[in-house]
Chains A and B, each alone.
Chain A
Amino acid sequence: MGIPGASSVTQAMPDTSPLFRDWQLATVAAIRDETPSVRTIAFSLPHWTGHLAGQHVDVRLTTDDGYQAERSYSIASPGGRVALIEITVERISDGEVSPFLTEQLALGDTIELRGPLGGYFTWSPESPASLMLIAGGSGIVPLMSMLRTRSKAFRRPPTRLLYSSRNFDEIIYRSELDNLVAAKDGLSIAQALTRGAPVNWNGETRRVDGAMLAKYTFPAAQAPHNFVCGPTSFVETVADCLVALGHQETVIKTERFGPTGEKR
């Protein structure tokens, strides 16, 4: 695991720098709507030494009376050294932070940000194992960072994405995913819609289950690396099914969000 483009050939986790521990002022450099309820925000930062695909940042908001709220958001940008750091945020209507980020934050505004953080849920293109990515909803974000990293890399392992969304309009990065598949470089994508699909939809139309995972994942005998990200119940269901399909727990990496035990 190293940072593409870094001069050192040895392990170079970004967290060797003290900078990642400190809050810094991030300036909004670009805003892009992905779906009606999901927005990508690109920040320029005074200090960024590079990151690994799958890492996240903490965002801190402070109200006028001093109350602070912190949230973690996955980095959507490809790993390595990039000029702008993007996060993709889903608006939760009764949330504390996401409505501000998706509705009020404007170009040139600044917020406090800390990162890159977390070395567990990360992937580097130096890993030769086949790559299996399984996303529910906005769980696609860190996996998109991995796909973007892969598409820039010299060596691209066989990769599959299984991506579940509620409906067609809520598919995040829809056209970019189509473009990645069109490159025909060993990436295949299967999608599921759980709450209704267009008439010409040729993907799956139910929640991800054991049969669907058996159909689209790499066989356990190939020892792929599996990354699963989404709501808590989604991730735990998928992880249990992967174990049942014979995958070792050590090659199943998970990232869960939402209240523990939430059903959706």
Chain B
Amino acid sequence: MIDDARSSDGNAVAGPLGRFFAFDITRMIVTCNACGSESPLGALRLYGDKMGIVLRCVRCGEVNLRALEFSGALSLDARGATRLTFRPPVDLP
């Protein structure tokens, strides 16, 4: 599976996880519980595949989010993220 030219960051979870959310989660700001850095979910490092997803902090490698999909249910373990911040899209000047 890992030998294909697949996306290796949070951008790739827009499809598999996005269907559980009413907004685009790749734009959600994740605050790392270990180092405090803030990063859009789309920029986090991705491990795993669509069955079990692990997203790690780009700066320190802390596991920020774990997502497990089973029997149509999504289980999200967010203990590695201090905060999840979503700002609605704003119009540019």
| Interface residue ranges, A against B (CB under 8 Å) | 1, 10-11, 13, 15, 20-21, 56, 58, 69-72, 90, 92, 94-98, 114-115, 117-121, 124, 126-128, 138, 232, 236, 249, 253-260
- Whether the Cβ atoms of B3 and A95 lie closer than 8 Å is yes
State in angstroms the CA–CA spacing of A238 and B16 once bound together.
Answer: 28
14 further contact pairs, Cβ within 8 A, besides A13-B89, A114-B15 = A11-B91, A56-B7, A72-B6, A96-B3, A118-B24, A118-B42, A119-B42, A120-B11, A120-B27, A120-B40, A120-B42, A121-B42, A126-B92, A249-B39
B7 near A256 with CB under 8 A, answer: yes
Could you count the A-B residue pairs with CB atoms below 8 Å apart for me: how many are there? Answer: 109
Complex Cα–Cα for A15 and B6 (A)? 22
- Chain B residue nearest in CB terms to A11: B89
How many Å from the CB of B86 to the closest CB on chain A?
A: 11
CB neighbours (8 Å) of B53 from chain A are none
Q: What is the CB-to-nearest-CB distance from B36 to chain A, in angstroms, rounded to a whole number? A: 13
Report the minimal beta-carbon distance from A225 to chain B, rounded to whole angstroms. 11
Of all chain A residues, the one with the shortest Cβ separation from B19 is A21
A90's partner among B5, B16, B23, B90 (CB-CB below 8 A) is B5
CB of B12 within 8 Å of the partner chain: yes
Distance from A216 Cβ to chain B, minimum over Cβ atoms (Å): 23
Q: A256 near B27 (CB under 8 angstroms)?
A: no
In the complex, chain B residues whose CB is within 8 Å of the CB of A72: 6-7, 11-12, 15
Rounded to whole Å, the gap between the CB of A85 and the closest CB of chain B is: 15
Please indicate the chain B residues that have their CB under 8 angstroms from the CB of A92 in the complex. 3-5
| CB of A103, distance to nearest CB on chain B (Å) | 14
Known contacts A11-B91, A260-B46; A97 and B26 CB within 8 A of each other: no
Shortest distance in angstroms between A62's beta carbon and chain B's nearest beta carbon? Answer: 14
CB-CB < 8 A to A249: which residues of B? 39
Question: Contact at B92–A70, with CB atoms within 8 Å?
Answer: no
| Residue pair A120, B46 in contact (C-beta under 8 Å) | no
Instruction: List the B side residues contacting A115 at CB < 8 Å.
Output: 15
- In the complex, residue of chain B having the shortest beta-carbon distance to the beta carbon of A249: B39
How far does the alpha carbon of A1 sit from the alpha carbon of B8 in the complex, in Å? Answer: 25
Alpha-carbon distance between A253 and B50 when the two chains are bound, in angstroms: 23
B7-34 Cβ-contact flags toward A at 8 Å (1 or 0): 1111110111011000110110000000
Task: Give CA–CA (A72, B15) in the complex, Å.
Answer: 9
A260 near B5 with CB under 8 A, answer no
